[in-house]
Structure 1
Amino acid sequence: MEVLTSVLVTPERGVEGDCRGIIKPGGKGKRQVSLMERADWDAVMAELGRQVPWWERRANLLVDGLDLPQTPGQLIRVGPVLLTVTAECDPCIRMEAVAAGLEAALTPDWRGGALARVLEGGTITVGDRITIEEP
């Protein structure tokens, strides 16, 4: 994992440098971008009595001050980038290697985050405005 202050996000490749964002022939781009709420991560860490860096979740973007939509088709704008929510980002067994109980703690109420497809690309920079848009 690499923590960046800005990154290019495109409809063809998702987050630059993350192979999961590339749309394969016949694919739908369901996992181009993964987003997680800081409040959810902080709550999980408090429950587990741990202090693990958020990037251990392996999410592309950590958002602060916004309740991520939990409905596929909802639109999220991050700076110039427009995303559409495709699904919940279910935590995997790999989370148990990070901290015991982490997979279960991330499971309820989309705490593991949301997956999205890129509709409009651009460069996202830390501190960019993030908003929910009308579909």
Structure 2
Amino acid sequence: MTTGVTGRLGGIARHARPRGPIETLAEVSVSVESGLASDFRGAVKPGGRGRRQVSLIEAGDWAAAMAETGHSLPWWHRRANLLVEGLDLPKTPGTRLRIGQVVLEITQECDPCSRMEEVAEGLKAALTPDWRGGALARVIAGGVIAVGDTIEIIEG
């Protein structure tokens, strides 16, 4: 993995509870203890490793899934936290990304679930190949991130 490769944070979204409404934000505080502020997935459970604290999806992958299914839904319908523009997300667990002051470590692929079929017919299948559904990450260093921040691969 090449370090120093950069992209841009194109969007931020969170939801306070499972199946809850999505809230899009211009900026958000991110912490090691709770992921994105007020997002239900971010809190590390006692004895847990926080592998699913933050979810990321590439703008290009979402666009490809929309084209494949014939839909034109906004990216947050994927229920991901961060929209990545201009950067191929690393498909290697352990790779670290810096967004502003925040450091995230990729933990695993974000496999699309059956919920995606409720969003749009054919979406689960369209998000399945080649990590198109995105990546999950844990927070290594917290801070505040904002739409437009640079995303950089810092370790691979």
TM-score using structure 1 length: 0.98
SS of the equivalent of 1:18 reads coil
> Could you say which residue in structure 2 is the equivalent of 1:115?
136
Question: Within 5 Å, which residues of 2 pair with 1:57-96?
Answer: 57-96=78-117
SS of the equivalent of 2:62 reads helix
TM superposition shift of 1:89: 0.3
Q: Unpaired segments of 5 or more residues in structure 2?
A: 1-21
CA–CA distance in structure 1, aligned partners of residues 90 and 39 of structure 2: 23
> Could you say which residue in structure 1 is the equivalent of 2:51?
30
SS of the equivalent of 2:24 reads coil
CA–CA distance in structure 2, aligned partners of residues 26 and 60 of structure 1: 23
Question: Within 5 Å, which residues of 2 pair with 1:42-53?
Answer: 42-53=63-74
TM superposition shift of 1:12: 0.3
Q: Which has the higher helix share?
A: 1
1:41 aligns with 2:62: yes
CA–CA distance in structure 1, aligned partners of residues 123 and 155 of structure 2: 33
Tell me which stretches of 4 or more aligned residues in structure 1 moved more than 2 Å: none
CA–CA distance in structure 1, aligned partners of residues 65 and 84 of structure 2: 15
TM superposition shift of 1:48: 1.0
Number of equivalences: 135
Q: Which has the higher strand share?
A: 2
CA–CA distance in structure 2, aligned partners of residues 89 and 101 of structure 1: 17
Out of 147, 150, 153, the position equivalent to 1:126 is: 147
Deviations 1:51-86 (A, max 9, x none): 011101000000100000001000011111000000
CA–CA distance in structure 2, aligned partners of residues 58 and 125 of structure 1: 18
> Could you say which residue in structure 1 is the equivalent of 2:29?
8
Taking only aligned residues, the RMSD between alpha carbons, in angstroms, comes to 0.7
TM superposition shift of 1:49: 1.2
Give me the identity figure in percent.
64
CA–CA distance in structure 2, aligned partners of residues 49 and 20 of structure 1: 30
